[in-house]
Structure 1
Amino acid sequence: MRVFLRYVGDPGFQIGIGEDIGVHQSTVSRTVTNVITRIVQKSNIWIRFPTSCEDLRNAKNKWQEKFNFPSAIGAIDCTHIPILKPFMYADEYVNRKNFASINVQATCNLNEEFTSVDVSWPGSVHDSRIWKNSDIYNVMKWNRASAVLLGDSGYGIAPWLMTPFRILETAEQRSYICFVQLKQRFPILHNKIRLDTEKVSSLVMRCFILHNVAKHLDDVAVYISGDVANKKKSITNILPTMQME
């Protein structure tokens, strides 16, 4: 787990991490793959979207208490995670800014915890298409609690989605703040992830899970890649909660 956290806490060069820790690059690679597999067992515990009427109403009440905004239960947005351009279907991964990425949709609550994450789309796909094909879209469309998500103008207005972004800046920027925290905790997401395409989505999802673990531990510090002391503190806090040896 320590090797994995060091990997996602750096730009993602396995050779350099191996040299710093004193293990071979192949050991780093195997460890990263193993931890990715093990963390997935915890995903349903740490990333959960309110689906029942009771859960949706509770989320609405909490959002209104904090932001004085009725009906909202969270914010939604997408972010591009840079990757190596794959050999297969390469053009599908090139986004409008002309670099290869996956376009990740996420929702978050008022505590800046992610409540849903979709890592299955290549970078060329527009945010609105991801939204309309997501499980969360159907949950919100058919919810009987009159709950809404807050998003930017790229999504379009619906009875269960309110835009534009500037209407309630403090509340609607919650998703933006979450993404900033996520990428500062895990700098590998800022850089080009050097893994096979099929492993990238799994790695990214694990970073979202660990972000929620950190929030659960009240670990609110923002980490800069060179801040070794803060990294070590983060590792110490996260390990017991994940219950990994």
Structure 2
Amino acid sequence: MDQVSNHELTEAKRILQSKYKFPTAIGVIDCTHIGILKPNRHGDEYINRKGKPTLNVQATCDAREIFTSVMSDDSRIWRNSQTRSQLINKANVLLGDFGYGIEPCLMTPFRNPTPGAEINYNKLLKQQRVIIERCFGQLKCRFPILQYVCRVKL
């Protein structure tokens, strides 16, 4: 986020507001897994829930489908991210999925929404979050190695 100019941020925010009615949203956030060879040292730390060795990569993007941050670390990516520390005391928010906990700078869906406003909120959030899924899809189409196993040392 630190490399995005104020003008770009304002434009991305305007697009989000006009399309999806989230007044303080500046982008969406999610993670994707990139296949790797299992490292010799501490290799079990890289085994995902499907039993495959991967790097968990967190990214944010704006309404123009432009990546605004990318980070790969461990299971505590969001808590330790520079993106979170920059947003934590600001009026802007990111839109996330169930994998993230709700915070002042992060809007997530209701787990068991009640009919009416909560269901409508979840529906709008889901429509917005498709942006990050498209970005990951475009990235993996452009660089097919990301769909398979990167055979490089960490």
Aligned to 2:99: 154
Q: Conserved in 1, the CA contact under 8 Å of 2:28 and 2:95? A: yes
- Kept in 2, the 8 Å contact 1:56–1:147? The answer is no
Which residue in the other structure is 1:141 paired with?
88
Tell me the TM-score normalized by structure 2.
0.82
Equivalences for residues 84-99 of structure 1 within 5 A: 84-99=37-52
How far apart in 1 are the matches of 2:128 and 2:135? 12
* Matches for 1:17-166 after TM superposition, within 5 Å: 48-49=3-4, 56-119=9-72, 121=73, 125-126=74-75, 129-143=76-90, 146-164=91-109, 166=122
CA contact (8 A) 2:61 2:132 kept: yes
Alignment: residue pair count: 142
Q: Deviations over 1:105-142 (max 9, x none)?
A: 100011111000002x2xxx43xx21010000011102
For 1:183, the aligned partner's letter is: K
Q: State the Cα deviation string for residues 148-192 of structure 1 (Å, max 9, x = none).
A: 100001101111100118442221221111111111111100101
- Is the contact between residue 12 and residue 64 of structure 2 (CA under 8 Å) also seen in structure 1? no
Equivalent residues of 2:12, 2:26 under 8 A apart? yes
1:6-27: CA deviation from partner (whole Å, max 9, x where unpaired): xxxxxxxxxxxxxxxxxxxxxx
Q: Percent identity between the aligned chains? A: 49
The structure in which a higher percent of residues are strand is: 2
TM-score by length of 1: 0.53
- Find the residue that maps to 2:28 and give its secondary structure: strand
Q: Give the C-alpha shift of residue 66 in structure 1.
A: 2.8
Could you tell me how far 1:65 is from its partner in structure 2? 1.9
Q: Which amino acid aligns with 1:161?
A: L
How large is the Cα RMSD of the aligned pairs? 2.2
Of 119, 140, 154, the match for 1:183: 140
**Greater fraction of residues in helix:** 1
Mapped to 1, the partners of 2:149 and 2:11 lie a distance apart of 39
